[in-house]
Amino acid sequence: MNQTNTRLLVVDDEPIVGKRLKQVFDKIGFAVETYTDSAAALAAIAEKSFDIVVTDLKMEGIDGVEVLKRVRAMNPKTRVIIITGYASPDTAELAEQEGVFAFLAKPFRLDELKEVIFRAMEPDRIKS
Amino acid sequence: MAFRDFLKRFSRQRWFTPKTCRPLSLTFSQFREVLKANNQALEIIADMGEKLSGDYLFDLRYVEATVEEMIAAMRRAIITINLLTLDKCVALHGIFAPMEARVRAILIRRDDRDGPPLLWLAEVETRHWPLVGGKAAHLSELLHNPKVKVPEGFVITTSFFHDLLDNNGICPEFDLFERMLTEPEINEDELERLRRTLREKVLQAEPPNGFLEKLTVVIERLAAIGGPPLFLAVRSSAQEEDMDFSFAGQFHSVLQVPSQAEAVYRAYLQVAASLFAAKAIHYRRQVFPEGCPMSIAACCQRMIQAAASGIIYSLDPMAPGSRNMVAVGALGQGQAVVEGQVPTDFFRISRGEPPRVLERVLAAKHDALRPKGGDDGGLTMQKVSAGQAEAPCLDEPTLLALAAVAMHLETFFKRPQDIEWTLDPRGDLYILQSRPLLITESAREKSLLSEQLDGYELVASEAGRVAQQGIGAGPAYWVETLADLKDFPEGAVLISHRDSSQFVQVMHRAAAIVTEVGSPTSHMATLCRELRVPCLVGVSEIMAKVANGEEITVDAEDRRIYRGKAVELLTYQATTSMDLHMAPEFRLLRRILRDVSRLNLVDPLMQEFRPEGCKTFHDVLRYIHETAVLELVELGRDENCLPGGLARRLALPIQAGILAIDIGGGIAPDVSSDQVPFTAIRSIPFRAILQGMLFPGAWHQETMPVSFRDMMHSMMTTPQDTLSGQYTGHNIAIISENYVNLCFRFGYHFNIIDAFCHEVERDNHIYFRFLGGATDIAKRSRRATLIATILEAFDFSVKTRGDLVIARTGNLARSEMERTLDILGRLIGFTRQLDVQMTDDRVVARYAEAFLMGDYGVVAEK
């Protein structure tokens, strides 16, 4: 399960989320950056590319769908996973249209997220 | 005559409780309702518990919403059990109400306000933790640990702290202060002014009426234990102190306090006022930037005359990878050490088995903090004689004993510990405090972890499911029967085929637990989470892969098991495990679960298994479940209540004479004849029992030769001896697809098996009761012992009294249930007439052995 060099960015305004995911993915060798502020996260994404971005949906300022749009615009290869406690079918559809890789409802098992992320790392994965 | 009357009354109580006849199907459907409500509540609790395992991400909204659901389910469970038992459990409403109130208080962070002003340290229970603060909570746990000495004492609770504020009119300022700390923009000048006011007012607060008298009583109780002269150490025990944050040295302690109530009260005020000390507020704002209500308790303990004192870390925080311990010490009282007032000896000790002293750096200890000597107490720095100053403060055996205690405490609390110790002049080591050791390590080392782990052989990966996250290493210790728990070694990894809540006995000593079957929602899993024992369940064939005694490392985060001690992983654990528990949602959920999920009523055969013994939600649910089962057990007992027309005879190749009453799905619908063949039985548990009874050799057709004496005995004792003579009538099985209640009346003995078995493990139970026999009580008791021995070997919880055997098991997967019921079927046949042969105690062992080996023919051999 050695995933050295996979670059993962996590943005969620609840600090526990970033802290926890960093712990989990550090352990298996990812390079993880975490942000509680979506603007700062986007600034980091503008500077270097990430393989995977995990973002919360509801955030102050720039929300998850907007993060998704901008990330996809900057680097279409980056997989974006949205985690949320309040997914309405509308937002889900909107996110689908914008090319979200997966939606995950909180609370979720870290294993579930791991699985989604491993799936996102499969090289030839085509998501339309 | 009087004795016989007694026996009659005794037996009548147990066997013939008069009750109204209700339709079986109604009773059964009510039973199902109880199970359903009970399960909903248990599932919610288990769900919350699983969140706490560290394997999930969740938020505060989740906690609040789930608590409401849980309370609603609890109420339903209590209502349904009263429907089933015709209001035999009304007491539960009154017992549950305060439990509910407490959980609601936790949700709004008010659980530190309701309780007694004083608590004896040794009598502190988990539910008191919010009242006594972290330090006292830990110490009270240690007081019951035979490997550690802790000075006796009592706690002035947080509930008293709030009373004090209330009585002295300080509440409005206190509330304002707490509110200010939660604000994003804090007016620093205003906060500072308020802080000072609170501090001054607390220092001058008058004791509430009657408090000093109560204080005198506990001080006298303490004096009675250790004898005079009694001085006290009054130490802070703040709400969150020691539990998750060190708060090291943030609050005040007053040492060598004279044993008069007035003096202890004054010392207490200093401790309480230190909640508002500038440095404490500063620290608090750092660790709780979002604010967090806090109150303070004081732990008042007997002062130990200290020859030497100091600190030991169970892991070197500067080099956690080295797996060494470090200790410092000086002469006299330890306050001088923690405050850095005196030079100290330094020791480095290996954590091996046994530990070894690796390094000693001795200081010239010219000063020691010691009692002034007067009646008014107090400590002062005193000169040490030249010879003593140069010698090590601890000799080697004592140092190694201290190291062993430190390692024990690390296993006990499941994290590296920062321990304050003191040595009395007689050479007894006392622990004054034990708290989690904070270790940080550079990220660089962490990122290499996955590569370092490649060097270890993987015994299992993607192994089972996580019951509690964590990492633990130690020698594997196989637990095959509950008797193996007795010798469970400190720091071992418990390996077992199935899980059992009985493992709780060794959880404080276990580094981790791995089971081949089991689920993360079992009682055992709940206990693991509560005691933070890393635990994987459902790891198939682990016993085939790991030898008893072999060193292994269990990673109950990534579900992997390594051969050997993966030091890097343990180091990683020591440096990261703290973060998780600091989040407010974790702390809140943990507090709630502490009140909810702990199971005190583990053994239904114990005295305290009654409504009044319930202390947590889980206890209430356990009690309800057991009561519901017992209600069912009684179903088939009174033949007068059974509907005659429904009973159908079983056509079996053995002469068991069983009538079956199907209350739903127990018999194939297309069987029309009155003689029901085995193949038509659809009841899962009944089928399993019959399978066992039909097992070749298990059911003995031969009649046992009964001796003349035995014959006389059975004739003489019938019908007067109600214990042995009355079980005439049919053998009746009340069955449904998932249920059986089987009553055997084999002439002179009476045997009930009540079992429920479907896909949800938690619902599954087996209740077994056996009583009586034709022969004298000695032989009957021997048979009871034989049955008990066999059932214990199959992990039943068993109680015997004379010739009565009651055994229970449950929470098993369907396949395990069927296997166990099959065994019971064989046992029924095997022991049916055995009492005649139970001529001496050796026969018991021989027959038990034969049965366990599958040698059922031994009975016929004679």
> How close, in Å, is residue A41 to chain B by CA atoms?
20
ipTM tops 0.95: no
Residues of B in contact with A81 (CB under 8 A): none
Q: Do B558 and A106 touch (CB under 8 A)?
A: no
> What letter would DSSP give residue B792?
H
Confidence (pLDDT) at B724: 32
CA distance B487 to B506: 9
Q: Do A85 and B61 touch (CB under 8 A)?
A: yes
Residue B576 has pLDDT above 70, yes or no: no
Residue B205 has pLDDT above 70, yes or no: yes
Confidence (pLDDT) at A7: 92
Confidence (pLDDT) at A19: 80
In the predicted model, what is the mean pLDDT of residues A92-108? Answer: 84
Query: What is the value of pTM for the model shown?
Result: 0.66
Residues of A in contact with B572 (CB under 8 A): 27
Q: Do A106 and B62 touch (CB under 8 A)?
A: yes
Q: Which residues of A touch B (CB under 8 A)?
A: 1-4, 14-17, 19-21, 23-24, 26-29, 31, 83, 85, 106-111, 113
Quickly list DSSP for B711-743: HHHHHHTTTT-HHHH---S-EEEEEETTEEEEE
Confidence (pLDDT) at A125: 47
**Cβ contacts of B193 within 8 Å, gap of 6 or more:** none
Residue B713 has pLDDT above 80, yes or no: no
CA distance B437 to B420: 12
Please, is B503 exposed, middle or buried when counting C-beta atoms within 10 Å of its C-beta (0-12, 13-18, 19+)? Answer: buried
- How many distinct helices (H) and strands (E) make up chain B? 28, 31
**Cβ contacts of B397 within 8 Å, gap of 6 or more:** none
- Model confidence at B728, pLDDT cuts 50, 70, 90, reads very low
> How close, in Å, is residue B576 to chain A by CA atoms?
8
Q: Do A107 and B583 touch (CB under 8 A)?
A: no
Cα angle: B832, vertex B635, B632; to 5 degrees:
100
Q: Which of B56, B450, B585 sits opposite A109 (nearest CB)?
A: B56
Sequence spans of domains, chain B: 118-302, 308-436, 457-565, 649-861
Confidence (pLDDT) at B721: 31
- Model confidence at B1, pLDDT cuts 50, 70, 90, reads very low
How many pairs of residues across A and B have Cβ atoms under 8 Å apart? 69
Q: Which of A19, A31, A110 sits opposite B56 (nearest CB)?
A: A110
Confidence (pLDDT) at A34: 92
- Model confidence at A84, pLDDT cuts 50, 70, 90, reads confident
- Substitution target in B55, B57, B287 with the highest count of A β-carbons within 10 Å is B57
Which of A94-103, A109-118, B142-151, B628-637 is predicted with the least confidence, judged by mean pLDDT? B628-637
Residue B749 phi/psi, 5° resolution? Answer: -130, 165
Residue B814 has pLDDT above 70, yes or no: yes
Confidence (pLDDT) at B243: 52
CATH architecture, range B308-436: 2-Layer Sandwich (3.30)
Tell me the two tokens of residue A75.
């680097």
Highest mean pLDDT among A111-125, B80-94, B477-491 belongs to: B80-94
Q: What type of residue sits at position B170?
A: I
Residue B80 has pLDDT above 60, yes or no: yes
Domains present along chain A, CATH in parentheses: 7-121 (3.40.50.2300)
> How close, in Å, is residue B63 to chain A by CA atoms?
10
Confidence (pLDDT) at B587: 78
Q: Do B450 and A1 touch (CB under 8 A)?
A: yes
Residue B519 has pLDDT above 80, yes or no: no
The per-residue b/e assignment along B622-645, b for 16 or more CB within 10 angstroms, e otherwise, is bbbbbbbbebbbbbbbbeebbeee
Give the distance from CA B25 to its chain's centroid: 37
Which of B164-173, B279-288, B377-386, B560-569 is predicted with the least confidence, judged by mean pLDDT? B279-288
Residues of B in contact with A17 (CB under 8 A): 57
User: Measuring CA to CA, how many Å separate B710 from each of B662, B780, B788?
Assistant: 38, 11, 23
Q: Return the CATH superfamily for domain B118-302.
A: ATP-grasp fold, A domain (3.30.1490.20)
Q: Do A85 and B579 touch (CB under 8 A)?
A: no
Residue A105 has pLDDT above 70, yes or no: yes
Q: Which residues of B touch A (CB under 8 A)?
A: 51, 55-59, 61-62, 443, 446-447, 449-451, 454, 461, 557-558, 572, 576, 579-580, 583, 585-586
Q: Which of A83, A106, A110 sits opposite B55 (nearest CB)?
A: A110
Confidence (pLDDT) at B645: 57
Residues of B in contact with A1 (CB under 8 A): 450, 461, 558
Residue of A84 and A3 predicted with greater confidence: A84
Q: Do B56 and A107 touch (CB under 8 A)?
A: yes
Confidence (pLDDT) at A54: 94
Confidence (pLDDT) at B747: 60
Q: Do B580 and A83 touch (CB under 8 A)?
A: no
Q: Do A23 and B451 touch (CB under 8 A)?
A: no
Residue B316 has pLDDT above 50, yes or no: yes
Q: Do A15 and B61 touch (CB under 8 A)?
A: no
B448 → chain A, closest CA residue? A29
Q: Do A23 and B443 touch (CB under 8 A)?
A: no
CA distance B51 to B58: 7
Q: Which helix (H) or strand (E) holds B843?
A: helix B841-852
Measured between alpha carbons, how far apart are the two ends of chain B, in Å? 38
Q: What is the pLDDT of residues A26-63, one digit of tens each?
A: 888 889 999 988 999 999 998 988 999 999 988 888 88
B457-565: in CATH 3.50.30.10: yes
CA distance B733 to B646: 11
Q: Do A23 and B576 touch (CB under 8 A)?
A: yes
Q: Do B57 and A85 touch (CB under 8 A)?
A: no
> How close, in Å, is residue B450 to chain A by CA atoms?
6
Confidence (pLDDT) at B780: 78
Confidence (pLDDT) at B722: 31
Quickly list DSSP for A59-103: -SSS-HHHHHHHHHHH-TTSEEEEEES---HHHHHHHHHTT-SEE
Mean pLDDT, chain B, integer: 83
Confidence (pLDDT) at B401: 95
